Amino acid sequence: MEGTFRKNIQIGIRVHIVQKHHQRSGELTEGIVKRILTKSPQHPHGIKVLLETGEVGRVKKTIEEG
């Protein structure tokens, strides 16, 4: 699922994010959402989240479990 809509993101789900310093390369980081930082229901570049590891970035896609 794409990460541009806040309704697709829940705390505890596994996602791929792109961190600010990786925006040019597009390198993705995988992790579990600890906190949703974007307040608006939609953002064209992805919803900003805090991962359990402390990394912050915009969600590019969610990972379907199972």
Counting Cβ atoms within 10 Å, is residue 54 exposed (0-12), middle (13-18) or buried (19+)? Answer: exposed
**pLDDT tens per residue, range 2-56:** 899 999 999 999 999 999 999 999 999 999 999 999 999 999 999 999 999 999 9
CA distance 42 to 26: 20
Full-prediction pTM beyond 0.85? yes
Predicted confidence band of residue 64 (pLDDT cuts 50, 70, 90): confident
Residues 48, 54 contacting (CB under 8 angstroms): no
Instruction: Set out the domains of the chain in order of their start, with CATH numbers.
Output: 6-62 (2.30.30)
What pLDDT, on the 0 to 100 scale, is given for residue 10?
Answer: 96
